[in-house]
Homo-oligomer: A and B are copies of this chain.
């Protein structure tokens, strides 16, 4: 009964489902507290208290017909203006409300902009390791995702290969910084070099190529590292933002697109994106949450909690002799597998009731992703298990 396009998705999904079921099986067998599930990117730090207060205040103060009602498909104008002004203040940009489109999270934002831009057969580039859903999003609009192989020395993008892969069919490149799964932040040098290549290629090929910057982890950066604002490097940039991690609201589905004036045909692209947001069935971003964002525009989650987790896990793994670039952002560590087949390493971890995701799920075999958006305690309790696994591989701790 289901469509041909859905069939591979359903078949592929059973692997993820199997992992989920395995976690439940282990928890039932050994007790949930003895299973160390590092497989999910579900924030465990609560939303700031201001968010819940804003919800209560809004419900008490606002007319329900307004608060829960339809607005422009782009979102409330005052909310969009508040977002624009906040970005301008933080990044020295000059956005206005008609650069901001409120979306049902960044995942929906990515779909909206891809629907707006892609013709069938258009190519979209991205850099391994990458969030596997990008392929599904691009295929939704009959585009082709082309993957640039990873630069495992730094996990900054492999720009030499990137340049070679740009063709006359290249319509966009999706970047993700701070990065899932590596935690790497793309440097200003990286973005400058990437923008130079794209401008050169646009001129050479006579085409327009968009950067689509997926930024759910923008606010999760450590050690004072700066996450450069991509629109300042390259005109044809769209930002896909989400409050899922920055305010710990992943279930609420609230985020926005930034389509700057400098983007080619900006006004037409913005209008088309608003229509895409409507006809894909979202209609608008959830209304109450839009109003919450307006009141909580300067709120932040407790970043120290993630930072403590990061240091505990990183130091613990280093002591065992594992190899990993210390992440500067997000809440993931991308650890080198002690054996070439990282799925075997995952299986070895599972014997210690430790669940991690194989890098091949991010088009980067030989590594595993460990999500540290879990309790500090879970990390502490898991370290002896990580140590026994390391010992079984003869890794040398420091």
A residues with a Cβ closer than 8 A to B are 1-6, 9-10, 13, 40, 42-47, 51-52, 55-56, 59-60, 63-65, 67-71, 104-105, 107-112, 115-119, 133, 136-137, 140-141, 208, 248-253, 263-265, 268-269, 271-272, 275-276, 278-289
Contacts and interface: CB of A to CB of B under 8 A. Distances in A.
A6 B287 CA distance: 25
A255 B112 CA distance: 21
Contacts of A108: 280-283
A111 B250 contact: no
Most B-side CB within 10 Å, residue of A42, A110, A275: A275
A251 B71 contact: yes
Contact of A281 (B67, B112, B251, B252): B112
A40 B69 CA distance: 12
Nearest to A289: B286
B253 A282 contact: yes
Nearest to A1: B265
A251 B286 contact: yes
A79 to B, nearest CB: 12
A252 B287 contact: yes
A47 B104 CA distance: 22
B271 A13 contact: yes
Contacts of A248: 64-65, 68-69
A158 B360 CA distance: 54
A224 to B, nearest CB: 27
Given A140-B279, A141-B3, A279-B137, A64 B52 contact: yes
Given A1-B208, A268-B10, A286-B252, A44 B65 contact: yes
A46 to B, nearest CB: 4
Nearest to A243: B68
B65 A280 contact: no
A10 B272 contact: yes
A252 B249 CA distance: 15
A111 B118 CA distance: 19
14 contacts: A1-B268, A2-B269, A2-B272, A9-B275, A46-B65, A52-B60, A52-B64, A64-B248, A68-B249, A69-B251, A107-B283, A280-B280, A288-B288, A288-B289
Contacts of A251: 67-71, 284, 286-288
A1 B117 CA distance: 7
B249 A3 contact: no
Given A68-B250, A70-B251, A248-B65, A104 B279 contact: no
Contacts of A279: 9, 133, 136-137, 140
Nearest to A62: B52
A191 B261 CA distance: 52
Most buried by B among A1, A47, A253: A1
Contacts of A115: 3, 5-6
Contact of A252 (B5, B110, B288): B288
B55 A55 contact: yes
Given A43-B69, A286-B289, A104 B6 contact: no
B69 A250 contact: yes
Contacts of A1: 117, 208, 263-265, 268-269
Nearest to A288: B252
A43 B59 contact: no
A81 to B, nearest CB: 18
A268 B67 CA distance: 38
